[in-house]
Amino acid sequence: MNPTALAIAILYAVVCVLATVFLLIVWRSTHRRRPSQEDSTDTRRLAHGEKAWFAVAIALLGVLLVATIPFTPYGEGAGSDDEQQMAVEGVQFAWITDPGEITAGKKVRFTVTAGDVNHGFGVYNDDNVMLMQVQAVPDHPTEVTYTFKKPGRYQIVCLEFCGVNHHNMVGTFLVRPA
């Protein structure tokens, strides 16, 4: 289990326990015996309790927000001078990449298009794990960014059936050490 998955599992367990405790408290509060005289209800105490619950709910939401924000894939800048560019074109039945080499540890912005029909741009590492994929569509460039941490040769596999040689539509590019 990788550290991120473990952190998510722990967070999930904590949230489950908190939710269970919360539900038990709510259940208890609604099953408490009522005072015998209805008109003796202390509305000021009830109002105070409501405020306390509101504070608890806000605090819980705040904790959840702070705890889960690191796992969101957003927050990357909309582009910087520091990133690398790679143009990718899919054609029956090959991948054209320009340039054919990039550097590890620095964000790559892929601009993916197709020269004839729709293709599927899928990038795999040497363990055959897919890192990302995006459609390659004629006349509609798609942008996607990725940062390769490990140097090596990566494989591009077509993920959209595009003709008789679709299964042979495989390419590679090199990620140089930083």
Binding residues vs ligand CUA (CB under 6 A): 90, 93, 119, 158, 160-162, 166, 169
- Our CB check for ligand CUA shows the closer of 60 and 91 to be 91
CB of 151 to ligand CUA, least distance (A): 27
* DSSP letter for each residue of 106-167: SEEEEEEEESSS-EEEEEE-TT--EEEEEEEBBTB-EEEEEE--S-EEEEEEE-S--STTGG
Q: How far is the CB of 88 from ligand CUA (least distance, A)?
A: 12
| Smaller CB separation from ligand CUA, 162 or 175 | 162
3-state DSSP assignment of residue 93:
coil
Alpha carbon distance 9, 3 (integer Å): 10
Least Å distance between CB 119 and ligand CUA?
4
Helices (H) and strands (E) in the chain, counts: 2, 9
Smallest gap from Cβ 115 to ligand CUA, in A, equals: 10
Closest approach of Cβ 84 to ligand CUA, in Å? 24
Which of 129, 109, 112, 110 minimizes the C-alpha distance to 120?
112
86 or 159: CB nearest ligand CUA: 159
Nearer to ligand CUA, 101 or 116 (CB): 116
Between 15 and 144, whose beta carbon lies closer to ligand CUA?
A: 144
**Tokens linked to 13:** 């367990």
